[in-house]
Each structure stands twice: as C-alpha cells, then as structure tokens.
Amino acid sequence: MKSLSSRTVRTALVAVAAGALVLTGCSENKGKTSGTDSKKDQEEASVQSKAVVYEDAAASTGPAKEVAGAKSGGTVTVYQEAGLSHLDPGQIYVSDAGQVANLLFRGLTNFQEDGKGNVSVVGDLATDSGTSSEGGKTWKFTLKDGVEDQNGNVITSADIRHSVERLYAKFIFDGPTYLQTWLSGADYRKALPDGGYGSKHLPASVLDTPDDKTVIFHFDTARPDLPQTLAMPGYTIVPEKTDTKEKYDKAPVSTGPYKISEYKLGKSLKLVKNTNWDPKTDSVRHQYVDGYDFSFGITESTQTKRLIADQGVSKSAIQLTGSVDATQIQDVVSDAATNKRTIKGYQPYVMVLAFNLDRVKNKAVRDAVTYAVNSKSLIAGEGGAYGGDVAPNLFAPTLPGYEAKYDPYGRLTNPSGNIAEAKKLLADVPAAEKKLVFAYANTEQGQRRKVAIEDALTKVGIDVVAKEVDGASYYEQIGKLDNPYDIYISGWGQDWPSPGTVVTPVYDGDQVADGAPNYSHIDDPKVQELIKKALTQEPTEAAATWKEAHHYILEKINPSAPLWYTKQLQLYGSNIGGARYSTESSYIDVNNLFLKS
C-alpha cells in the first residue's frame, strides 16, 4: 500500500505514504485492540486479511449512507507534525497525503467500509467496480453522468486517459507503479516518454477510450486486483484542462467534497467546500463540515496535550496521521472520559531498518545489525504495548500468509537484541565496514528512534554517524538511488490483502528506481523468479511461493531488519462526531466526520 507517514512510514502511506491502501480492521470508536495483549491483538488482526468485495452499481450510487446524529457546519482543526509530502495525486504514496486525498480527489473506484472491519470496492467516478473479460485481462469502466471538477468541467474518459498517461512522465516519481507496469512493463516510461503531453498516446490495445464515458484497460495477463489498485490515492484523477505538470503538486484541482482555499507549504492548509461536488454521485464521502484547517509543525506531544486539555479549537480537532505521544499514553487511557475520545487499531505496517545494499554489501554486517537492534527500546518510544509489537519477520499479522513463529533472527527470544551474536559476526569485519551512516527524520519520534538505534549498534562496536533529514521529505530522500545513507528506518503496509503488495513493491528488482519503495535496492534473480511465478498463480497456490520468497529474502539476503509491527492510538476533541477507525487507511476515518455543535 503505502508507507506509514507520521508514525512514520511511507503510507505509501506509505504512510508511507505513505503513508497509501491498507486493510486493518477495527470496530467503530473503541476498536478491537486491547493495546496490552499482543497475542489477542494479532488474532484480531488476522481477521482483517479477508478478501475485499467488489460491488455493483447499486452500492456505487450516492449519496453515502448518513452518519447517525450528523450535523452540518463548522470547521475541523487538524494537527500534524510534518508537512505533506505531495498533493499531486500521481505522487501520493504516503499515508498523510493519502488521508487528505480522500477529501480532495476521486478515482475510478474507491474503498467503502462499514465500521465493522468489512471493506468493499465501489465505483467512484465509475458506475461500478468494473467489469472484467478475457479471464481478467480486460477491464471496462463506465463513467457516471455529470461528475464535475471544482471548476465545473465535466470529467470524461479523456481525463482518465490523461491521468494514467501523465504517470509515465519523469516528474512523477513518488507514487505507486502497479498500473503503469501492468500496462507497459517495468520500463514503462519508454512506452510514453513525454507522459502523453505531446501527440503520442498509449495505443487502444493498451488503454482504450472509445467514447466520453468508457475506459477500457487491456493487460497481457489477468489483473484481478485492478479495482483495488485504482482505489489508491495515487490513481485519482487530474483533469486534463487544469494540469500544470510540476506545479500541480502545490495547487491541485479538486474532484472531491472539498477544495484548497489556501496552502502554505509546510505551515498550513485550508480546505473549503467544493460546491461542484454532487453527493448523489458519491457513495463514500460526506460534506458535513464547512472545511478543514490543517496546522503543520505541531509535535505529537503538543497535539496530545492540546487534545487532552480539550479547550477552544482543540474540542473540534483531530490527529491526521499522528498518534498519542508515547509519554502521555497512560494519561489518556487511564482517564475514562479521555479514553472515550480515542480510536485504536492494529495497523498493517512492518517497521524495518532498511540496508542500502549499494553501500552495506557485507551480509555479516547486515546480520549483525539485525541481531543487535533493540525492538523493545524502539517500541517503548512508540508507546509500548499500545504502540506496537516485536516483529520477527517482514510480514504483518494483517497479511495472508503471516507466520507468527517465523523468527530467523531470534527477535521474539531476544527483543532487546542479541549482543553476543552480533559481536561474533563482526569479529573479523574491517573497521571501515563497521561505520554506518544512519538517516533519521527531524521529528520527536525520529529523535527517539535515533537514540535507540545508536545505543544498540554502539554496544556491538558499530560506529553510527547519524544524519538528520527533514520529516516532510524523509521518504523522498531515502528513496533516492544515490542517497548517502547506509541504514534508515522505513515501514510498509499492504495495499490490499496479498503478500504480492508487500514483496513486489519493496523487494522486486524491477522497483529499483528513484522514488520507488525498494529502499534497500535489492535486485536478486531468485526473488525475481519467485515474484513472477507467484503473480501467475491463484492466491491459494501463490501462498506457498510468497512464503518461499519471504524466507529467501530474509535469510539469504537480509535487506531489512524487522523491528516492530505498529498499532494506532489517536485522540480527537469532544466536539468531533462520527469518529471511527478506518479499516482502509488505519487512521481516523475522515469521510464521516462532523461537529456536534
């Protein structure tokens, strides 16, 4: 999916992204995670791996189901520490921007959830979730009537084509690449170097728009996950008439219920109602509040203090992708009234310490670091049992194929690190190879992680050179192929319930590129072979292949040291109504919010 953003992974979403999309189930408001019973929490998380349902036209027709007790009016204040990574849809793969994207942008499809952990795909701009033929190689979508952008321009198939083709342009480097590679292969940019801005376009045999209302995708193999792929924020629509290329990232045009009225990069963002959004065409979103005021640069500790106090504008405030500050968790959960204003859930993210394989070439060093890292200390900085659980491997409990006892580096046995084993592996390693440059985000959370990593690695004789990176551009910086760092913490969550949405984007050699989530730059023939094999198999058959790939990656290559699985604990003000945990984003569900007074 995505990288986690503020907590902080690429949310993709992560995130990510980013970050950004992931399936993590939890019931409304209180959620299902106990926060203190890891085994119980992981059992709940495993339920979240169930398949997504593709819905028909009836379920895709608006307006969205009314939220009980909802009222109109008022402005929601949004607290966020780091600024947004991107606002150009094609660049969104981190969870912070993914949250905002659901307020601003629409795609052919979208995820719909019921607040009980059930997720489906509905038509958003399309009349339904799509119709496949030729064994899943061809997908047809028909656009709804009368959907307009914020300027009153009707969305047509030409806008869909443009939104797809612009993803081939070089200035789009930070978003998902599923659709492009499925249509045109790993070197997709060569198929359309100018991104469709010139006279050349993708042939009708790949992407066909026979009339204003019809969009047809043609693939060389079955793509049963396409409706879920198109529901990602990175595949929402950029109207052709208003595309400003690189400049679009700062001033995008809305197709959703809200539009941008003011954006001060890294400081603030104000959203107001998009009067050209028609609720009758949207079965997912609402437009209860008049707008959203985002304040960036507000640390998680300050966010938490304000929301606990619950005074003034904070009564109508939420955390976007931030969480309750680790040092204040007990203050929140021990007070019944405050605890009622929280959402809790098991997230799909696996936090890892990624190795830049272009620089850290000695596997003995990578293995030593993996043994040395202190998951217990890192999790303490995230809020202890409320913030996460020790990760023994690279698959999260929310993912089909998760093996709770698969622990090749003894993370569960030695959550504080195996110092003796690490020192043994480093005994004959030259001093130069034991000097590692560690990149960390300049946030409160990043500082805590820095201290934990430095402490653990120094104990085994590794010289850690810590380099601070801007929190808003953290994933962009570590995503550069020529980045000057050896190790960096990153996180990834499934885009939908399939190991392929973890292994392919993060460990596929075809994804070694600037902006791609293959942060370790792993490019191994055996992994490539297993990925290609799994992608041609049915899910039940592919499970064994993904398992083989997972074991091979972690044991034979070790591109990333597993650290912890993330949990979410967010706080909101007493005047916020409709708050619930989103099983799709793993954060507060921004689609249902209203103000009580």
Per-residue pLDDT tens digits for 243-301 = 999 999 999 999 999 999 999 999 999 999 999 999 999 999 999 999 999 999 999 99
Sheet hosting strand 119-123, strand order edge to edge: 53-54, 119-123, 109-113
d(CA 202, CA 313): 49
d(CA 98, CA 233): 6
Element (H, E) at 161: helix 157-165
Residue pair 557/363 in contact by the 8 Å Cβ criterion: yes
Query: Residue 406: is its pLDDT beyond 70?
Result: yes
Q: Which residue has the higher pLDDT, 337 or 51?
A: 337
Residue pair 93/175 in contact by the 8 Å Cβ criterion: yes
pLDDT category at 28 given cuts 50, 70, 90 is: very low
State the pairing for strand pair 75-80/291-296: parallel
d(CA 272, CA 424): 60
CA dihedral defined by 168, 285, 571, 445, rounded to 10 degrees?
Answer: 0
Element (H, E) at 47: helix 38-47
In DSSP notation, 477-532 reads HHTSTT-S-SEEEEEEB-SSSSTHHHHHHHH-GGG-STT-S-TT----HHHHHHHH
Sequence-ordered list of residues with C-beta below 8 angstroms from that of 355, at least 6 positions apart, any chain: 366, 369, 486, 487, 520, 558, 559, 560, 561
* Per-residue pLDDT tens over the stretch 301-331: 999 999 999 999 999 999 999 999 999 999 9
Residue pair 495/233 in contact by the 8 Å Cβ criterion: no
Q: State what percent of residues in the chain have pLDDT above 90.
A: 80
Sequence-ordered list of residues with C-beta below 8 angstroms from that of 212, at least 6 positions apart, any chain: 143, 156, 157, 158
pLDDT category at 346 given cuts 50, 70, 90 is: confident
Which 3-state string (H, E, C) describes 323-351? Answer: CCCHHHHHHHHCCHHHHCCEEEEEEEEEE
| Amino acid 19: pLDDT | 25
| Amino acid 114: pLDDT | 87
| Amino acid 389: pLDDT | 95
| Amino acid 37: pLDDT | 65
Q: Note if the pTM is more than 0.75.
A: yes
Amino acid letter, residue 372:
A
Residue pair 62/279 in contact by the 8 Å Cβ criterion: yes
Residues making up the chain, counted from first to last? 597
Query: Residue 3: is its pLDDT beyond 70?
Result: no
Q: Which residue has the higher pLDDT, 416 or 52?
A: 416
Closest CA to 523 of 352, 358, 354, 370: 358
Amino acid letter, residue 311:
Q
Query: Residue 220: is its pLDDT beyond 70?
Result: yes
* Per-residue pLDDT tens over the stretch 434-445: 999 999 999 999
Residue pair 155/143 in contact by the 8 Å Cβ criterion: yes
| Amino acid 512: pLDDT | 93
| Amino acid 497: pLDDT | 77
| Amino acid 17: pLDDT | 26
| Amino acid 43: pLDDT | 59
The count of other CB atoms within 10 Å of the CB of residue 279 is 13
| Amino acid 150: pLDDT | 98
Residue pair 529/508 in contact by the 8 Å Cβ criterion: no
The greatest distance separating any two alpha carbons of the chain, rounded to the nearest whole angstrom, comes to: 69
| Amino acid 8: pLDDT | 34
| Amino acid 48: pLDDT | 53
Amino acid letter, residue 486:
D
* Per-residue pLDDT tens over the stretch 175-210: 999 999 999 998 999 999 999 999 999 999 999 999
* Per-residue pLDDT tens over the stretch 461-496: 999 999 999 988 999 999 999 999 999 999 998 888
* Per-residue pLDDT tens over the stretch 33-78: 555 666 666 655 555 555 688 999 999 999 999 999 999 999 999 9
| Amino acid 496: pLDDT | 81
* Per-residue pLDDT tens over the stretch 102-149: 999 999 999 999 887 788 999 999 999 999 999 999 999 999 999 999
The count of other CB atoms within 10 Å of the CB of residue 49 is 21
